[in-house]
Structure 1
Amino acid sequence: MKKWIYGIICVAFLGFITACGGGDEETEQDNTPSEKQEQTADAGDALFQQSCASCHGGDLVSGGAPDLDKIGSKYSKDEIEAIIVNGQGGMPGGILKGEDADAVASWLAEKK
């Protein structure tokens, strides 16, 4: 019986890890430099919805991961970006990188 419970816990944990990203695959984006410079807060929101909402919730509070609705009052933009790039606690690093991580960090830093 203990083996079954252990197996179920392992499968659930692996499902949680894969839902939050975890892959090392990088996709090529077809953005020109001028398009990337025009990114706004909407881009940060869109990137969050695409890469982070599965764990943190689309509304920043309804996921299984920590709530982010007031994260800007706890961390600075640079601290948030470091967490996105390097990971922290149960969150793996590298889900977003470079300008994408910067855009999401800027957007989240405004949540106070």
Structure 2
Amino acid sequence: MKKKLLAAIFASLLVLGACGGGDKTKDEGATTGGETASVDAEKIVNNKCIACHGNNLEGGSAPGLTDVGSKLSESEIHDIIINGQGGMPGGLIKGEEADAVAKWLAEKK
């Protein structure tokens, strides 16, 4: 019984840790689709989201995001990033990074 409980706790920590990993990424380059002048949204997604949402955002242990913009508005996506929803904890991405990622994902239709 104790082994099963420890295994479940370890698995949960592993999944949550993988979703929140990565460094803050900034790109001081020019603005292109889905980016602000200082934030590369796609790079942030690749560092912090693909562990749960899949390499191509097709889904994994979390829902797919390939067409999330056709289902949710930019503000709804931003709210989920900031506050979390279901098994996703809030605050994995903050500030202008969250703004840029919400905008980038909202363009996925």
TM-score, normalised via structure 2 length: 0.80
1:47 aligned partner, one-letter code: I
Normalized per residue, the structure richer in helix is 1
1:20 paired to 2:19: yes
Contiguous gaps of at least 5 residues in structure 2: none
User: How many angstroms apart in 2 are the aligned matches of 1:108 and 1:30?
Assistant: 18
Q: Which residue of structure 1 aligns with residue 7 of structure 2? A: 8
Question: Which structure: larger Rg?
Answer: 1
Structure 2 CA distance for partners of 1:99 and 1:111, relative to 1, 3 Å: same
- Between the two proteins, the alignment pairs up a number of residues equal to 104
Q: Which residue of structure 1 aligns with residue 60 of structure 2? A: 63
Q: Which residue of structure 2 aligns with residue 80 of structure 1? A: 77
Q: Superposition RMSD on alpha carbons, in Å? A: 2.3
Choose from 25, 31, 35 the match for 1:38: 31
The alignment partner of 2:20 has SS state of coil
The alignment partner of 1:75 has SS state of coil
User: How many angstroms apart in 2 are the aligned matches of 1:97 and 1:47?
Assistant: 11
TM-score, normalised via structure 1 length: 0.79
1:11 aligned partner, one-letter code: F
Contiguous gaps of at least 5 residues in structure 1: none
Structure 2 CA distance for partners of 1:14 and 1:30, relative to 1, 3 Å: closer
